[in-house]
Every structure is written in C-alpha cells, then in structure tokens.
A and B are shown apart, each in its own frame.
Chain A
C-alpha cells in the first residue's frame, strides 16, 4: 500500500481532507443516540405483526403497571389530541399510531415511555392487542383487482386501492412513431423495493420545556427546517417555539427526509411526562417501517429503425406506494422526476403513464439516492436500449453512441419538457470505453465464450436532473424549494457560514467552506460551517435529490460574493478611492493599475469593525444573507462500463471491473466527489445483485434484518476505475451540478446489462434485480424468478 498524500488546504477548490473526519474517526461525532439529557426517559414502539388486520382492542393495563413505565400511548390517546393521523409529504395522511386497522407489518400501534430502554422494551410485551386478521394486498399487480381488499377505508368514499394516474409526454405523437416504426422492442421489468439502510437508524430526543413552552427535538433529519414547519402545522405549536436540531447524521440517502410516527410519539411522550424522551429505532424497525425506495413495475417499449436509430419510448408503470402515500417529492411530481425517462437520447416522441396503488407495505417510495425516481427512469431506458441492441444484434455501446444527444443540441428541451442545461455525452462515453479498453473486452469475451465461460460487459449512460427547485415549479407541502445562506466575517477575517441544508456524510463542512474560500480568498480552515439547527441557520428545504451543491452551494457562492462587494466598499474607504476603481484578485481588493495598493479580505474585515468612517452601503460589518432560488435543475451525466464473470452453473456473479466517467460540472473537492461516486457504485452493485425487500403472501417482510437484507461489502466491489469530463452548468454560479446520487442512479443498469450480456448464450434478454445466484441461474434456465415475492 502507498501512503495517501495529505493535500495542503487549497485556498478554495481542490483536493482537501474533510474537516469533519477528525471527529468521526476518533469516535467524537454526536449522533442523536449520543444525546443524553437530565431526567431523560426512553420510548419504544409496539408494532403490528400483521400486514392487514382490524384492531379489536388494546389492553395496556399490565404495561401501565410496570414499575418503570411512565406512560403508554395508543392511537386512542393521540386521537384525543387530534394527533392520531398526520399528513404525509404527498398530501395523504398516515396513522401515527393505529386506531382502526393496521395496514402493514411493522406499523406503529402503541408507544411506551419508561425509565430505561430495557424496561420500555420489556413493557411492549405486556401490551395485549386483539387483532382480527384481514386479507392483505401484497402483489402490487393485484392491487387494482376488483375483489382486492380495500386498504384505505379510512378515506371517505374510497372503494379501491388506486392513488393516482399521472402521465408525461405526447401520447398521440408517440403512438404515431410506434405505428410506423420498423422495429419495436418491449420488456417488462421490475425495479424492486429496496431500502436506503443508513448506518444510523432513525430516532429523536424530544424535550418540551413546560416553563418556556419551547420544544427542542434532536432528530435524524435531512431537512430540519421543513420538519420544524411541519411540526408546527401538525401539532399546532407556534413555530418560534420549536427548535429542530439535526446533529451528526449517520447516512440518510432519503431515509431521513420525512417525519416518522416515532418522532411524533417522542414529542407527545415528552409533553405527557414533562421529561425529555428519547426514541431510537432498531435495525429491523428501520428496515420494516421507514421509507423504502423504488417498487416500480414497468412496461417499456422502444421504437427504432432497423439500423438502430431510436425513435420513441412508451412506458407504463405500476407504482407500489405501500399503505400510505408518503413519497417525498415536489408536489407537482407524483412520480418524482420519472419524466426524464427519455434519458440521454435524441428521440422523436415519448410518453409514459404511471399509476400509483396502495398495498399492505410500509409507506415511502422516494429514497435511496434516487434523485426523485430518476434511478428508475435511467434503469428503464438503459435496459430498453440493451434490449433493442439484443433484438437488432447491435453492439450496445455503438447503439448508444449513435443515439446520444449531441453537444450542439444543448441546452436541450426533452420530449417530456425538461431543459437539460449542458452536456457533451459522446465525449464521456468515449472516455469510458477508452478507459475500459472496450474492444479488448469484447475480444476477450469472444474467446471465453468459445471455452464455455460466461463474461459480460454492461454499458450504461445516464442523465441526472438534480438541484430542485426552482420554487415556482417545485415545493414540498407548499414550501418552495429554495435555500438560504448567511455568512459572517469576524473582525480577524475568520468566517462562519450558516446553511439550511444538512450533511449526512457528504462533507458539507469542507465543501461549503471551500466554496466560500474560493470566492473570498479565505482559507477553508478559517471558515466554520454551521448547519442542522433551525435556531442557528436560515430557512431552506434540506439535503436530498443531490440538491445541496446545486442549491445551497450556489447560495454559499452568492452570499460570499455579496460579502466581497461589501468588502469592496470598505476597501474603497481604506484606500480612499472610488469602489469602481478597485479590482479583485483572490483574497484582496486593489487599485486598478496599482497592484501594490490593495487590502486583504482580513484587513478589510477588521476595518469594517473599526473606527474607520464607512461609506454608504456598509453599516459596520461584511456579513450578508441570501436566498438562492435555482433558475433550473442541473443535469449531471455519466458513462459507465461494468465487467462481470458469471458462473452459469451456480449463478454466482463477480463484478470484475467497473469504469465510471462522471460529469458533474465543476468539481469543488475532487476527493469528495470520488468518494461519493465510490459509495454510489457500491450501492448500485448492491441493488443489482443482492438488495431486495420481498414479501410473502401474508405480507411478512422477508428482509427485516441485515441477515436477510444484504448490503454489499468490499468483497463484492472491484477497485473502481474513475474518469471525468467537466461540462460546467451554465446557470450555476460556480458551474457545479451535484454528484451525490449520480453513481447510484447510473450503476445498477450497468451491472444488470453486464450480467444479461453474460447470459446471452442462454438466450437471456432481461432478468430482474436483484441478480442473486438463484435469480441468475433461474434466468439461464428460462424460468426467471419473481424477485418481489417469496421464492417457492
């Protein structure tokens, strides 16, 4: 092994070790479960063993009698406070604690508050719930059957399990293209239900101060400000009396966007007992009850000419949303950003329709680094392109190259109305193919096939759309998707940046200090980033959908530029020249034509607090605030090549190589970008090969622990081979596009395409994820598995 060189702190962008890592690698992080308050009590949730059952009665008397139990809260208790139901992020309601029925296995039924977490857990076993089992709806494809049990009979007038129909594109134009196309390929495919499974599970410590009336909640949230507003609306508490603190967060991936019943129960527990209450879920609770991802049953069709020019896409999706419609996405986008399913290709027409249904499974649906369902969209189109290549007998890389959008088409308005900001797709694909030495791989594959060995090469190209808003198009529960930032410069020239978004491991404390450092010429070491505390930071919508750098990153740059302009006014007073006669070089203003006559940002900061007579426009410091409302999404993209070896006799897949060329625009800290890509690629390998939450016919969750819900390890990951192209975003202040989810979005298709390519000698054209050994073997036998159900 070679030692990694410690890069010096750059005065702005560039490689730099993460400022937050010192505390993490020394075990000095402060997570929610590390928060301990005087007199704090502990909560535990009783959960339903049934997927669908009527609650006949709940007897809590034995639990109440436990000597260490302080409170037992049921749906009935909450109903008295008008809190038994809460709004979801998709304009539905969700039970906080069940009153009438339980609608998924693991649903919250009662909450015990006790003096310690052992007693709280013991007392759960003393609660006697009488359930009357009801037939569950488990297979989403049966949810709209005429005789399907109605899950949401709590909703007035509801007689089926239909949630919504949504469509995008031009149906008639698409039908015309398909009617006259020389070639049409169709494929059913499932993007199965998976879980973000962050290392830290969800939890909260709620402290209602009965004297001041102030509620403080330490909680695992990616969106502290949105949570504060929602608590105010749900609980009827005055918003200035609510403080949400999101301390160190051990991974989010979308799992920590919404508000969970456990959080509300902790708050109610604190109100009822007058003491702080901690509730932290365990691993099984996290997997079984919190936001899942995907669960899209897709039927895709692709139309083309015989020589491989792609003409159109037509898609129908059945979306399993679980028992409550709790997807976290902008209001006007019930299928998230699935509308970008036309991907990276130049088409004549496209149309998709999505139908959302209720099933007896946990709610959620937009999570796991999916960029609001772009993961599903990319998987769909990239698999369809491979299916087309299979039917045409064309090389899948060549087919892509032939159809990619060309650089001169940008900004490009897609057939479903998205305006791609910038891109040079052929260059990225060529870079990936070169890095992989694609022709040599194909030659090796041909040789191996002659020997009866199965090797597969998968190519995928993706276009992401991240950085929501703008606010006029995108809101969550009416809150426009824009982010605030505040920058204070102390007299000695050190600075504090206050952000609305919240890191969950992405390295915000470093990246955002570097953004400000680049704009002001202050060392990132001298800039503290404050986030995750609603009392200390400006309002904003939070970190998800790869939006931190596109939105809060832009806010940081803009607010730094405001500071720079204030510094210019102060410098003009210091140098006794007009501000118009000053020029900026990184870290100082100087007099145009006289480079020696200048003042550093540090000198100017001190002067701004001194007895210097300040000119108009500056009152006494350099501090500034801003709100950044993005004019458009940013569109990162990339080209991936995956190489696998498949043992067709056992079904085992080995990912031998993975080449990833990402273009996320300007890279602020390339080391952090690469780290994000590494994590996302591992996620993609996991989803493609092992991760799934299947359910048996009774609705039992078959992935409720890490023994059953498999996450990839380093053993399944090859040494990633990364490349890059840089196409700046034209509308972002520093040209950055966001990277957090790119690899998760793009990599599953590359892995699946590789495995299916390896199985070509068996005539396999498609196989659903996860491609476990059993699934691979079954596909090769011509008897593919239904991966979302119990294997029988």
Chain B
C-alpha cells in the first residue's frame, strides 16, 4: 500500500479561516479539495506538504450562479456538478463536453473545478476550456480579492499565479451569445488527453466576431492558440479557414513526445481537433441561429 509521509491536517470552516490557516502554515502547506491529484502525489511521495488545509466544508465556494450577466463557478464545484448544470450547459456546452471525458465518475464526484485549474497539469481539460471561453479567475487573500484572466493564470507546468497565502475562490465567464465545444483524443476512457481542443465562437454578419481556441496537452502557452484565433477572427467560418486555423495551431503549439505519441502525431492531432471542434461549434451556432446560418 502506498502511504504518504507525515503531514498536519487542518479543516477550514470559512474562506477567512482558510486564509488564516494558509498564512499560518506558509508555503509548505497545500489546500486540499477533491484531492484527486494531490493525494496520489502524496502517496507516491512526489508531494510532501507539511500541512493540508481542507476546504471541503466551504459550501459558499460550491455554487454555480449568474451574477450581472456573468457565469460564476465556485472553485469547490465538483466536476459532476459542472457536468450536470443546465445553466452551464445552456451557455457554454464546452464544459459539459470536457467534463464528460474527464477521468471517470468516481473522480468527477470528488474532484473540483478550482483544484483542476490550480493543479495546472498540462494535460488538464478545464484549463483549455476556460482559456477558450476567456474566463477569469478570482483569487482571494487576507489583502483582498484580485481577478486574473485564465489566459494569464498559468505560469508554467504545474505552476499558477496563485501565491502562498492566496486561495482561488471562483471562475467567472461573461455570458454572451456564443457556441462552444470540446473534443479529446485519449488512449482509453478516463486517461489524460493525448491531445484535446476546445472552441468558442460568435458570428456576426457572417464573419467570426469572436473566436476562442483552447488546446490541451499540446504545450500551447496558457492552453490557447492565439495565432489561430487571430487568423479566424474577422473572416467567415468556412471549412477551408477552419482547416487552415488547425494548421496554424499545429505550427504554434509545442507538444512533446511521450508514451501517448510522437511529436508529429500530436501536431497532427492539433490540426485535426481544432478543425473538427470548430465545425462542432459552428453547427451548434447554426442550431441556435437558424435565421443567419453561417456560410
């Protein structure tokens, strides 16, 4: 049996209490929510925090709501709740697409949205999904609250802008007219992505007024494909341009070879998945706006 090293355990009773505990235990403490990344790492002794601060009782972080035309997803929202939320599904189907292929029901019942983003695993699906829809991260500390675009949230693999003493409390996504989707290639149900892509788009007068493309496990800076987005935005949503956007995304990402595949294959997947996911998003847009079907 894998057993972790010794650690101290504290249960937070409120956000303020959690922040106090984070201050007290400093940089060697870790927040535990669903624990589906941290606890395995501790059991393998890849992580040996001195203290765990359990935030599972902070119900105020476990809600999904709309405030001032913004979708607000608490950091402690479980994957399964994001998956089953009609509110989220109505505005951003990309999340249901992504959640359906994240791990398995057991993990989704416990794992949290905030935990996934803070883990910042390069293969994590929600990071790309939030990057695609240009979400914002709300980070709280004893000094107050700050908001960081998800596209600036990640510093590198397994690293975020959340500093010691800070807690990610909420993800926010402005609600607007849009369509979105997410596609993933995996070796087996529940496996981390070989590669995945998410897309969000809005059409106006037959041209793409807004395009968001998220990339997972492809080494894209901050999980998105800005060059491909720039290429698309302002032009029509045609098959040819989607294919070209895929090629651009493939050129600009930085996948690494591992047992999930060689680099050339992953670049090929980047092109294929970006192309395909844009088409899915376009189909959804057309379903919502039959009167102005995209050309």
Instruction: Tell me whether B38 is interfacial, beta carbon within 8 Å.
Output: no
- Name the residue on B nearest A716 (C-beta): B188
Q: Which residues of B in the span 1-26 have a Cβ within 8 Å of any Cβ on A?
A: 1-3, 5-6
Partner of B265, one of A694, A703, A777: A777
Asked if B262 contacts A774 (CB within 8 A), the reply is yes
How far is A790 from B261 in the complex, measured between Cα atoms in Å?
10
B268 located at the interface, meaning its Cβ lies under 8 Å from any Cβ of chain A in the complex: yes
Question: With a CB–CB cut-off of 8 A, which chain A residues contact B45?
Answer: 125
Q: What B residues does A34 contact at CB under 8 A?
A: none
A5 CA to B1 CA, complexed, in Å: 38
Do A710 and B188 contact each other (CB < 8 Å), given the known contacts A774-B265, A791-B257, A792-B257?
yes
Cα–Cα distance between A282 and B261 once the two chains are bound (Å): 28
CA separation between A651 and B266, bound complex, in Å? 11
In the complex, the answer to whether B272 meets A650 with C-beta atoms within 8 Å is: yes
What A residues does B92 contact at CB under 8 A? Answer: none
B56–chain A nearest beta-carbon distance, Å: 23
A791 to B194, CA, bound (A): 13
| Shortest Cβ distance from residue B256 to the other chain A in the assembled complex, whole angstroms | 10
Complex contacts, B190 vs chain A, CB 8 Å: 713, 715
| Smallest Cβ-Cβ distance to B269: which chain A residue | A650
Q: What's the Cα separation between A649 and B273 when bound, in Å? A: 10
Is there an interface contact between B3 and A121, defined as CB atoms closer than 8 Å?
Answer: yes
Contact A785–B1 (Cβ < 8 Å): no
Q: How near does chain A come to B45, taking the closest CB pair, in angstroms?
A: 8
The verdict on B292 contacting chain A, using a C-beta distance below 8 Å, is no
A688-712 vs B, Cβ < 8 Å mask (1 yes, 0 no): 0110001000000011010110101
Which residue of chain B lies nearest to A652 when distances are taken between CB atoms in the complex? Answer: B185
Select which of B2, B188, B258 is within 8 A of A712 by beta carbon: B188
User: Which residues of A in the span 766-792 have a Cβ within 8 Å of any Cβ on B?
Assistant: 772-774, 777-778, 785, 790-792
Q: Is A66 an interface residue (CB 8 A)?
A: no
Q: How far is the CA of A280 from the CA of B194 in the complex (A)?
A: 33
CB closest residue in chain A, given B194: A773
Q: Which residue of A lies closest to B261 (CB)?
A: A774
Interface members, chain B 254-279 (any A CB < 8 Å)? 257-262, 265, 268-269, 272-273
Interface size on A, residues (CB 8 A): 36
Instruction: Verify if B47 is at the interface (C-beta below 8 Å from A).
Output: no
Complex CA gap A158/B64 in Å reads: 69
**How far is the CB of A77 from the nearest CB of chain B, in Å?**
24
On whether the beta carbons of A790 and B259 are closer than 8 Å, the reply is yes
CA distance A280 to B265 in the complex (A): 40
Asked whether any CB of chain B lies closer than 8 Å to the CB of A284, the reply is: yes
Chain A residues with CB under 8 A of B260: 772, 774, 791
Do residues A707 and B194 form an inter-chain contact, with CB atoms below 8 A?
no
Assuming the contacts A713-B189, A791-B258, asked whether A778 and B3 have C-beta atoms less than 8 A apart, the reply is: no
Q: Is A762 an interface residue (CB 8 A)?
A: no
Task: Name the A residues within 8 Å of B2 (CB-CB).
Answer: 282-284
B263 to chain A, nearest CB (A): 9
Whether B262 lies near A785 (C-beta < 8 A) is yes
A710 touches B262 (CB 8 A): no
| Alpha-carbon separation in the docked complex, A790 to B189 (Å) | 22
Q: For residues 187 through 238 of chain B, which have their beta carbon under 8 Å from a beta carbon of chain A?
A: 187-192, 194
Chain A contacts for B1, CB-based, 8 A: 33, 117, 280, 282
Q: Mark A615-659, 1 if CB is under 8 A from B, else 0.
A: 000000000000000000000000000000000011110000000
Say whether B265 contacts A710, CB under 8 Å.
no
**What residues on A are CB-neighbors of B185 within 8 Å?**
650-652, 773
Contacts of A774 in B (CB 8 A): 194, 260-262, 265
Please state if A708 and B189 are interface contacts (CB–CB under 8 Å). no
Contact present for A694 and B259 (CB under 8 Å): yes
Roughly how many angstroms separate A650 CA and B261 CA in the complex, as a whole number?
11
Q: Is the pair A713, B188 in contact by a Cβ cutoff of 8 Å?
A: yes
Q: Mark A26-70, 1 if CB is under 8 A from B, else 0.
A: 000000010000000000000000000000000000000000000
Contact between chains at B262 and A284 (CB < 8 Å)? no
Q: Is the CB of A778 within 8 A of B265?
A: yes
Is A118 an interface residue when CB atoms closer than 8 A count as contact?
A: yes
> How many whole Å from B174's CB to the nearest CB in chain A?
32
Q: Does A122 contact B (CB under 8 A)?
A: yes
**B261: which A residues are within 8 A, CB to CB?**
772-774, 777-778, 791
A703 to B262, CA, bound (A): 17
B-side contacts of A705, CB under 8 Å: 44
In the docked arrangement, what's the CA distance between A789 and B45, Å? 26
CA A91 to CA B181, docked complex, whole Å: 59
Q: Is the CB of B6 within 8 A of A122?
A: yes
Say whether, besides A117-B1, A117-B3, A708 and B188 are in contact (CB < 8 Å): no
| B104 within 8 Å of A (CB atoms) | yes
Residues on the A chain within 8 Å of B269, using CB: 650
Q: Are B257 and A710 in contact (CB under 8 A)?
A: no
Q: How far is the CA of A650 from the CA of B260 in the complex (A)?
A: 12
The proximity string for A residues 717-736 relative to B, scoring 1 for CB distances below 8 Å and 0 otherwise, is: 00000000000000000000
- In the complex, what residues of A have CB within 8 A of residue B192's CB? 707
Q: How many Å from the CB of A262 to the closest CB on chain B?
A: 13
- Binary contact track B32-73/A, C-beta < 8 Å → 1, others 0: 000000000000110000000000000000000000000000
In the complex, A707→B273 CA distance in Å?
A: 23
Expressed in whole angstroms, the minimum distance between the Cβ of B35 and any Cβ of chain A is 16
Complex CA distance for A708 and B44, rounded to whole angstroms: 14
Contacts of B3 in A (CB 8 A): 117-118, 121
Contact of A777 among B191, B257, B258, B268 (CB under 8 A): B268
Q: Shortest distance in angstroms between A422's beta carbon and chain B's nearest beta carbon?
A: 39
Q: How far is the CA of A650 from the CA of B275 in the complex (A)?
A: 12
Q: How far is the CB of B155 from chain A (nearest CB, A)?
A: 24
Nearest CB in chain B: distance from A784 CB, A: 11
In this complex, the member of B6, B185, B260 whose beta carbon has the largest number of chain A beta carbons within 10 angstroms is B185
A33 to B194, CA, bound (A): 36
Using CB atoms, name the residue of chain A closest to B192.
A707
B246 → chain A, closest Cβ, in Å? Answer: 11
Say how far B50's CB is from chain A's closest CB, in angstroms: 14
B2 to chain A: closest residue by CB: A282
Q: Is the CB of B259 within 8 A of A708?
A: yes
Judge whether B44 and A649 touch: CB under 8 Å.
no
Residues of A within 8 A of B104 (CB): 713
Interface centre among A652, A694, A772 (most CB of B within 10 A): A772
A689 to B104 CA separation, bound complex (whole angstroms): 19
**New A-B contacts (6) at CB < 8 Å, excluding given A689-B187, A774-B265:** A121-B3, A650-B269, A651-B185, A651-B265, A652-B185, A792-B262
Show the binding face of A for B, using Cβ within 8 Å: 33, 117-118, 121-122, 125, 280, 282-284, 649-652, 689-690, 694, 702-703, 705, 707-708, 710, 712-713, 715-716, 772-774, 777-778, 785, 790-792
Q: Can you list 24 contacts pairing A with B, beta carbon distance less than 8 Å?
A: A117-B1, A118-B3, A118-B6, A121-B5, A649-B272, A650-B185, A651-B185, A652-B185, A689-B187, A690-B188, A703-B259, A712-B188, A713-B188, A713-B190, A716-B189, A772-B187, A772-B260, A772-B261, A773-B187, A777-B268, A778-B261, A778-B262, A778-B265, A791-B260
